[in-house]
Chains A and B, each alone.
Chain A
Amino acid sequence: MNKDQALLAYVARLGDNALVLGQRMVELVAGYPELEEELANANFALDFIGQARMFYSYAAELEGEGRSEDDFAFLRDENEFRNVLLIEQPNGHFGDSITKLVLFENFYLLQLGALRHCADTRVAEIAARAEKEITYHLRHNTNWLLRLGDGTDESHERVQQSLDSLWQYTGELFAPDDIDNVFEAEFEGPDLAAIAERWQEQITTIVERATLTLPAEQWMVSGGKQGRHSEHFGYMIAEMQYLQRSHPGATW
């Protein structure tokens, strides 16, 4: 993999992560029992989709084949998406969604922090913009995890289950592949081993404050970064892409 290919693939993957998580949150719009959480979720989803647009627009320019951000989102097949498995998991209950966000956004924020200093100007600029938004998200989402963990017996038990079931997807966040390695070497990209260490510290602190128990070391699932997704993902993008597949070129 050469330098240009790695940059394109890296940027497209940043877009994939943002879009897939944003789409999962879009599924919850109008489903919250409380207005504040409804607004929070919709606002966060909008941030992710906005970030996806910036990454995809750049990827389309880098590719130089006349594709647009919409083509990246709506006209690629399942195995062309290289997002991590964690964020494509179904929403589950509120505790599942919050736990997923805390696990992923702590990683994403560290990744963006490193990207802000990378050698590709455009990626660095988008990362600086996105970093501020994710910081705001995490303040809200971390507070919820603390409240649920240190709340009632039932909320504690249920959010512990969320943590236990999502943990197996966290290893993939830090498992570098060719794209990560070439991007790190050529563009002063994030050092995933260093990020893993800081993530572990941060999550340990949050989990302890939430009176939860950190899951034991275990076998980790991977494959999303190589385009091998969980079964849920096909259903998700089928719904997301339905309109453009059925009515190609539809606009409004």
Chain B
Amino acid sequence: MVAVAVSREQVLEWLNAVPDPEIPVLTIADLGIVRGVTINDVVTVELTPTYSGCPATEVIEQSVVDELHKHGVDDVAIKRVLSPPWTTDWITPAGRQKLKDYGIAPPGELASKRELVHGIRSIACPRCESLNTDLVSEFGSTACKASYKCSECLEPFEYFKCI
């Protein structure tokens, strides 16, 4: 057993550098899936999955372990927490801005039940801000995105679904 001499803040800062494997412009901290860090004999990182079947879950867990190993923290444990369930509301304001800059329309403000059941309002094009956009498909390249097109600048874009 190696005595761990790092602070919680330090670990959180390191985690801030771990990218999401499917949307590498976002870090896992931007996504809001780091739920806690506890330091005893081992460093335990609590993570929550975004979607039940998200194939990135294991990759993210391994990236966290690798990142901490890189900084000399050998004893790392990952704890998967489910409650409260992740929604797009957990994405930080900085994360939303990064998504937009990357060309993905960020999710609306609240993943309310109403939006889930009754569909979505107009989505602004992340490039030209126009609201003159159309839904192409409620599904996209990953489980978390829908496909849109902008009728002003004629560019297709993805929307981070509000779930």
Contacts and interface: CB of A to CB of B under 8 A. Distances in A.
B61 to A, nearest CB: 14
Nearest to B48: A129
Nearest to B55: A46
B72 interface: no
A151 B49 CA distance: 39
A139 interface: yes
Nearest to A47: B53
A39 B52 CA distance: 17
A41 to B, nearest CB: 9
A132 to B, nearest CB: 5
Interface residues of A, number: 28
A50 B53 contact: yes
A92 to B, nearest CB: 22
Contact of B51 (A50, A122, A126, A140): A50
A136 interface: yes
Nearest to B81: A125
Given A51-B53, A132-B163, A43 B87 contact: no
B131 interface: no
A128 B83 contact: yes
Contact of A54 (B52, B117, B136): B52
A35 B52 CA distance: 23
B153 interface: no
Contacts of A132: 85, 87, 111, 116, 163
A130 interface: yes
A40 interface: yes
Interface stretch (B1-9, B11-19, B137-145): B137-145
A36 B139 contact: yes
Interface residues of B, number: 26
Give the secondary structure class of A's interface: helix
Contact of A47 (B51, B85, B111, B161): B51
A48 B53 CA distance: 7
Contacts of A140: 138
B25 to A, nearest CB: 22
Interface string A20-51: 00000000000000011001100101111111
B83 A135 contact: no
B82 interface: yes
Interface string A117-134: 000011011101110110
A133 B51 contact: yes
Contacts of A36: 136-139
B119 interface: yes
A159 B61 CA distance: 44
A39 B51 contact: no
B54 interface: yes
B53 A125 contact: no
A74 to B, nearest CB: 17
Given A50-B53, A51-B52, A129-B49, 13 more contacts: A36-B138, A40-B137, A43-B139, A45-B53, A46-B143, A50-B52, A53-B52, A128-B82, A128-B85, A132-B85, A136-B161, A139-B117, A139-B118
Interface of B: 49, 51-55, 82-87, 111, 113, 116-119, 136-140, 143, 161, 163
Interface of A: 35-36, 39-40, 43, 45-51, 53-54, 121-122, 124-126, 128-130, 132-133, 135-136, 139-140
6 contacts: A50-B51, A121-B83, A128-B83, A132-B163, A133-B51, A133-B163
